[in-house]
Amino acid sequence: MVRRVGVLTGGGDCPGLNAVIRAITKAGIMEHGMEIVGIENGFGGLIHGLFRELKSRDVSGILPRGGTILGTTNRDNPFAYPVEKGDEVVYEDRSDECMENFRRAALDALIVIGGDGSQSIGYRFYQKGMPVVGVPKTIDNDLLATDVTFGYESALLTATEAIDKLHTTAESHHRVMVLEVMGREAGWIALGAGIAGGADVILIPEIPFKVDRVCKKILQRVEEKKNFSIVVVAEGAYPEGGSPVYKTTFDGRKKLGGIGNWVAEEIEMETGIETRVTVLGHLQRGGTPVPFDRILATRYGVAAINEVAKGNFGVVMCLQNDRVVPIPMEKVVGGNKLVDPNGELVTYAKEIGTSFGI
C-alpha cells in the first residue's frame, strides 16, 4: 500500500507547477488517504533531506500562482553533483544518499515534475529501485511522447503579447524589431508566437537560416511600402554553416543566448535599416498560468497520484490524443521533440508569406 508520497519540482520554473502540486496533494489526501511530502529545491532537497508535509491548507489558493512553492533548481543532479575542491569543481555521485533519505522519510513513491533533465534523473532513480512517476513540464514543449507540456501555452502568450507591443513601436519608427525567445534546441515558442503575432520572419533551430534571405524579405517589405518588420528568433537558431550562439554565465557555465543581437547587427549592416533587439528571457517563465495550463497541470497531477495508487511506476504521464496516459520513462527521456521543418505549421506559415530565412 502506498501511503506516503514525495513530490518535487526540478529544472527551470514555469507557470502551472503549483497547479500540479495542488492537484497531487488534494487528490492524494482526499481520494486516496495518502500523506504528501514536499521536497524542497528539486533534487537538491532529496540530497540534503529538505522535506515538509503538505496539507490541504498548504496548497489552498496556489492554483493561479506562478513559480513553485517547493522551490527548484537545474544544477543539483545527484548523479553528478558539483563540489568545489580547491580551485576546481568536481562532480560526485550522491544518489545513494538520496536513496537513504528517501527511506528515512518513509516515502513509498516519488513524483518528479520536470522536463527532460529531471525525468532522466527520475528514470535513473527508478532503475536504482525507487518507485517514480513523472509529470512533464517545460515551456519549451520539447519533451518526447506528449502532445504538449504545461507551461508552454503561458509562455506562448507572453511571447505573443511582446510581439503585439513591438508591432506598434516598429511601425511608428520604421524599424526592424528582433525578438529573441527561449526554447533551447526546439523552436516551438518562436514558431507559435511568430504565427500568432504575425511575425514577418521566424528563425528556429530546426531550419538553419541564410542572413541574405532574411534581409531580402525585409527589403521586399520596404518595396511594398511596409517600412517595418518583425523578426522572431529562437535562442537556439543559427545560420546555415554556423553554430548556435552561447554566452558565459557568472559561474563559468555556457548557455544559449545572443543570437538575437547577432541577427540584428547583420540586418542593420546589410539593409541600413535601424534595428532593435528585445530579449524576452525569464519573463516567459513567470506570471500566472493561462487556463489551459491550469487545467492540463491539474489533469497531470491527478493522473500521477492515481498511477501511484495503482503501484504503476517508471512512467511519465503524457497527453496523447487529449487523454493523459502513462508512458514508460525510457520512451520519454534522452531526446527532444523538435519542430518538423516540413510540418503543417511551418508549411502554412510559409504560405502566408512568413520567411524562415531559406
Q: What is the mean pLDDT of residues 114-119?
A: 94
List the beta bridge partners of residue 52: 38
Spatial distance between the Cα atoms of 185 and 189, rounded to a whole number of angstroms: 11
Beta strands in 204-314 (DSSP E): 229-234, 246-248, 254-256, 275-279
CATH architecture of 4-150+289-331: 3-Layer(aba) Sandwich (3.40)
140 a catalytic residue: yes
Same fold, 4-150+289-331 and 153-286: yes
* Cα–Cα dist 193/141, whole Å: 13
Residue the block writes with cell 525569464:
282
CATH ID of 153-286, from 3.10.450.50, 2.60.130.10, 3.40.50.460, 3.40.50.1820 = 3.40.50.460
- pLDDT classification of 225: cutoffs 50, 70, 90: very high
The per-residue pLDDT for range 23-49, each reduced to its tens digit, is 999 999 999 999 999 999 999 999 999
Give me the mean pLDDT over the 305-309 stretch: 98
Total residue length of the chain: 358
Q: Which of 13, 116, 140, 142 is catalytic?
A: 140
| pLDDT tens-digit map of 258-305 | 999 999 999 999 999 999 999 999 999 999 999 999 999 999 999 999
* Domain residue ranges of the chain, discontinuous segments joined by +: 4-150+289-331, 153-286
Q: Which helix (H) or strand (E) holds 170?
A: helix 152-173
Average pLDDT over the chain, rounded to an integer: 95
If you average pLDDT over residues 178-188, what whole number do you get? 97
Q: Which three cell numbers stand for residue 317?
A: 504521464
What are the C-alpha distances in Å from 201 to residues 181, 183, 197, 228, 242? Answer: 13, 17, 11, 12, 19
3-state secondary structure of 261: helix
Measured at the CA of 62, the angle between CA 61 and CA 64, to 5 degrees, comes to 100
Residue in 282, 241, 245, 236 with CA at minimum distance from that of residue 265 = 245
Burial of 12 (0-12, 13-18, 19+ CB in 10 A): buried
How far does the chain reach from its first CA to its final CA, in angstroms?
58
Tell me: pLDDT of 182 over 80. Answer: yes
Q: Please give the Cα distance from 111 to 167 (Å, whole number).
A: 42
Question: 80: helix, coil or strand?
Answer: coil
pLDDT mean over 103-121: 96
**DSSP-assigned beta bridge partners for residue 178:** 231, 277
Q: Inform me whether the pLDDT recorded for 251 exceeds 90.
A: no
* pLDDT tens-digit series, residues 147-179: 999 999 999 999 999 999 999 999 999 999 999
Burial (CB count within 10 angstroms: exposed 0-12, middle 13-18, buried 19+), residue 117: middle
